[in-house]
C-alpha cells in the first residue's frame, strides 16, 4: 500500500470508521464523489472543495464579506438576547463559528459547559469527536465548515432545549443558514433534525436519507455526544457523513 493510501486508511480508523463500502469515494477533498462521471481528458478540471461553496443561486450577488456581516450581527444580538430564561445562567452566548462561504453547516442542539465557558461551539469531548469527523474523516479543516446549535445559550445540566427556548433562538439559526446558503446541512441529533424538518419523528426514522430545509438538503445523523456513549452508532453516522460529502461535492 502506498504511503498516501496508508495515511487515509489510518485517519479513518482513528475516527472510528471500520467499513468503507466498495465504490464509495475516500474522504479526501481532492477526490470526486462516487458515481461522478470521469473527467473529460481534453478539459481537466479541479474537483470542488467540499468545504467551501462554489456558487449558490439563492445568494445572488452576496459575497463572503456580506454573509460575514450578517453572521456577526447575529452573534452580537445573541450575546445581548434575553428572550428566554437561558440567558439568566449563561456565561456567554455561543452563536456559532466557521466560514461564511461554507458548503457544509453542522447544526447541533445546544452548548455544554465547555462551550459556555469558551463561547465556541463543540469544544468539549463531543466537539473533539466532531473535529475528528471533519478533519480525519472528511479531509477538511474545522474552519472550512460552519458549526452552530439550535439554541445559543447552555441549557442547565445539558438538558434538551425546551420548545420556548428553541422558538426564541429560531430566528438566529434561520438567519445564519440563509446568509450562508450552504450546499448541505448536517443535523446533529434528534432535536436539531426535528426543528429543521418540522417533525416529531424519531431520529432513527429520519437519518439515512436527505430531507429538505428551504431548498437546502438536510442530512440528519447522530450527535457526537451520543457516539461517545454508543460507539456502535459510528458506522451509520459515517454513512450519513458520506452523503453529506457527496452532496457538498456535487456541482
d(CA 171, CA 182): 17
34-35-41 Cα angle (round to 5):
100
The DSSP secondary structure of 33-99, one letter per residue, reads PTTPPPPPTTS--PPPPTTB----GGGTT--HHHHHHHHHHHHHHHHH--SSGGGGT-SS----EE-
Give backbone dihedrals phi and psi of 211, rounded to 5 degrees, phi first: -115, -155
What is the mean predicted confidence (pLDDT) over 10-28? 40
Cβ count within 10 A of residue 169: 25
The DSSP secondary structure of 179-248, one letter per residue, reads HH--SEEEEESHHHHHHHHT----HHHHTTS-EEETTEEEEEE--HHHHHH-GGGHHHHHHHHHHHHHHH
Q: What is the pLDDT of residue 64?
A: 86
Assigned C-alpha cell, 206: 429520519
Mean pLDDT across the chain: 84
The per-residue pLDDT for range 165-192, each reduced to its tens digit, is 999 999 999 999 999 999 999 999 999 9
169-220-154 Cα angle (round to 5):
35
Q: Would you place residue 31 in the very low, low, confident or very high pLDDT band (cuts 50, 70, 90)?
A: very low
Q: Is there a contact between 123 and 114 (Cβ–Cβ < 8 Å)?
A: yes
Assigned C-alpha cell, 38: 470521469
Whose cell is 439554541? That residue is 151
Q: Which domains does the chain have, with CATH numbers?
A: 59-249 (3.40.470.10)
Q: Checking DSSP bridges between strand 97-98 and strand 146-149, what pairing results, if any?
A: antiparallel
The per-residue pLDDT for range 216-236, each reduced to its tens digit, is 999 999 999 999 999 999 999
d(CA 127, CA 215): 28
DSSP 8-state symbol, 16: T
Q: Would you place residue 53 in the very low, low, confident or very high pLDDT band (cuts 50, 70, 90)?
A: low
The per-residue pLDDT for range 64-119, each reduced to its tens digit, is 899 999 999 999 999 999 999 999 999 999 999 999 999 999 999 999 999 999 99
Residues whose CB falls within 8 Å of the CB of residue 201, separated by 6 or more in sequence, listed in order: 194
Q: Can you tell me whether residue 20 is helix, strand or coil?
A: coil
Residues whose CB falls within 8 Å of the CB of residue 57, separated by 6 or more in sequence, listed in order: none
Q: What is the pLDDT of residue 49?
A: 55
d(CA 40, CA 112): 48
Sort residue 143 into left (φ over 0), alpha (ψ -120 to 50) or beta: alpha
Amino acid at each position: 500500500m502506498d504511503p498516501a493510501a496508508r495515511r487515509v486508511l489510518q485517519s479513518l480508523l482513528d475516527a472510528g470508521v471500520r467499513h468503507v463500502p466498495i465504490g464509495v469515494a475516500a474522504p479526501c477533498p481532492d477526490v470526486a464523489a462516487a458515481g461522478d462521471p470521469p473527467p473529460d481528458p481534453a478539459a481537466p478540471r479541479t474537483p470542488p472543495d467540499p468545504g467551501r461553496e462554489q456558487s449558490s443561486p439563492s445568494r445572488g450577488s452576496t459575497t463572503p464579506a456580506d454573509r460575514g456581516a450578517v453572521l456577526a450581527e447575529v452573534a452580537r444580538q445573541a450575546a445581548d438576547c434575553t428572550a428566554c430564561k437561558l440567558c439568566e445562567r449563561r456565561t456567554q452566548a455561543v452563536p456559532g463559528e466557521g466560514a461564511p462561504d461554507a458548503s457544509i453547516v453542522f447544526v447541533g442542539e445546544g452548548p455544554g459547559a465547555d462551550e459556555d465557558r469558551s463561547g465556541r461551539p463543540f469544544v468539549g469531548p463531543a466537539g473533539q469527536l466532531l473535529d475528528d469527523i471533519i478533519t480525519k474523516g472528511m479531509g477538511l479543516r474545522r474552519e472550512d465548515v460552519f458549526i452552530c446549535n439550535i439554541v445559543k445559550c447552555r441549557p442547565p445540566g445539558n438538558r434538551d432545549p425546551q420548545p420556548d427556548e428553541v422558538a426564541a433562538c429560531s430566528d438566529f439559526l434561520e438567519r445564519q443558514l440563509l446568509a450562508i446558503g450552504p450546499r448541505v446541512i448536517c443535523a446533529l441529533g434528534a432535536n436539531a433534525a426535528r426543528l429543521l424538518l418540522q417533525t416529531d419523528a424519531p431520529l432513527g426514522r429520519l437519518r439515512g436519507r436527505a430531507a429538505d430545509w428551504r431548498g437546502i438538503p438536510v442530512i440528519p445523523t447522530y450527535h457526537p455526544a451520543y457516539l461517545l456513549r454508543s460507539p456502535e452508532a459510528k458506522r451509520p453516522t459515517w454513512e450519513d457523513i458520506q452523503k453529506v460529502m457527496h452532496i457538498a461535492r456535487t456541482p
